Structure 1
Amino acid sequence: MISLWDSCLQEKISELHDDTWSIVIDDTIVENRPARDWHQYISGSFAQFRCSLCRKGWGSKRVQVLFNFHLSTASNLGTIKVRRFKQKCRRCTEAQWEDPNFSVENIDVLVERLVKNIRVKCYRENLGHSNRASVFAGRINGPHETAHCEACHKGVCSQAN
């Protein structure tokens, strides 16, 4: 899973100076608490979920992704930590928090937005204001369900009703 994120990152960040960047999934990071000298960026996208109990699948266009990133100018090493917020099945009473599955296209969009943010915050570039939209697969026409959204429970969701 992280290999998709990393390959998108390496493709998009390769033109940035001589710095080396790495990306890891970290479900412990929280909003508004990045470590000193770290930056934070939150973005949303479409993802698919599957309940580990009943196997029901669903899509959500309101999946929050939190990025913490840091560039060490002394070592030319950049680190990115990613937290993908989970959702619960609304059918199961003992539902677990399920990991989102992003399409390659949406990982590409998220990483493109992230790299733009890195260029602004770490390299002080002025890039203007344009963002690619996420790709929605299938029909998505339901309300946002706060009770089943981990980002809402953590106070991170910007999509809450």
Structure 2
Amino acid sequence: MPSRRKGSSERWSMYPLLHDSVSRLLKEENLHFDFHDVDDDASCIKEYDTRVMGRFICHNDACNSHGWSSKRIAITIRMYPEEKYNGRVYHQRCRSCNSLSKPLLDDSYAERVAYRIKKWRGIQMEPPIFSGEITDPHESHLCEGCKAGHCSVLVRVVKGSHMGGMETGYW
């Protein structure tokens, strides 16, 4: 049986390999942004907390969990000077063994990132209809986004401009 050991102690990840998907969606509005490889608090111009969807696999060989899906994966989308962006996607802990797991993301990552960049660039858009009803309660003790104060499930108010243009919401 192959080992599932791929876990780490990292509490979040960035997904530069999904940039092409984001770029295609931005191209619809003639926008061009590059992925900013450095997650830098100091130089970001805008920041937005939201959520994406995906699946987690527990990499602890001693755990009986077969993984879980989540419609509440916390993400902080950031815009930087010179038409750059990134997204910090927070990991979740396994309910069975408390090990950290990095998500495998679906198309909602590219859709949410592109939507937010378009809004920041002044493009008038209606928020897309959220597909998928959330029925399970949010388990904030397993959510690294909650622990970092960047989970949109817990913080739904718009943060003031005195905080460097940071906002929070679903889209």
TM-score between both structures, scaled by the size of structure 1: 0.70
Distance 1:102 1:36 in 2: 26
Displacement of 1:52:
1.0
Give 5+ residue unaligned stretches, structure 2.
1-14, 156-171
What secondary structure does 2:120 align onto? helix
Greater relative CO, 1 or 2 (CA 8 Å, sep 6+): 2
Give 5+ residue unaligned stretches, structure 1.
73-77
Cα deviations by residue, 1:41-61 (Å, 9 ceiling, x for unpaired) = 222122211111135211122
RMSD over equivalenced CA pairs, Å: 2.8
Displacement of 1:96:
2.7
Q: Quote the residue 2:109 is aligned against.
A: 107
Q: Quote the residue 1:131 is aligned against.
A: 127
- Asked whether the equivalents of residues 70 and 80 of structure 1 are also in contact (C-alpha less than 8 Å), the reply is yes
- Asked whether the equivalents of residues 109 and 132 of structure 1 are also in contact (C-alpha less than 8 Å), the reply is no
Q: Quote the residue 1:44 is aligned against.
A: 51
Displacement of 1:22:
1.4
Displacement of 1:14:
2.6
- Asked whether the equivalents of residues 60 and 140 of structure 1 are also in contact (C-alpha less than 8 Å), the reply is no
Distance 1:66 1:119 in 2: 17
What secondary structure does 2:117 align onto? helix
Distance 2:110 2:44 in 1: 26
Instruction: Report the number of matched residues.
Output: 138
Q: Quote the residue 2:4 is aligned against.
A: none
Displacement of 1:140:
5.3
Displacement of 1:111:
2.7
Displacement of 1:25:
6.1
TM-score between both structures, scaled by the size of structure 2: 0.66
Amino acid at match of 1:11: R
Distance 1:82 1:66 in 2: 6
Distance 1:48 1:81 in 2: 20
Distance 1:146 1:25 in 2: 28
Q: Quote the residue 1:97 is aligned against.
A: 100
Overall identity of the aligned pairs, in %: 22
Q: Quote the residue 2:73 is aligned against.
A: 63
Cα deviations by residue, 1:82-140 (Å, 9 ceiling, x for unpaired) = 10011000100xx3321122113x123213322323313xxxx5x15x2114444xx85
Task: Give structure 1 regions of 4+ aligned residues with deviation exceeding 6 angstroms.
Answer: none
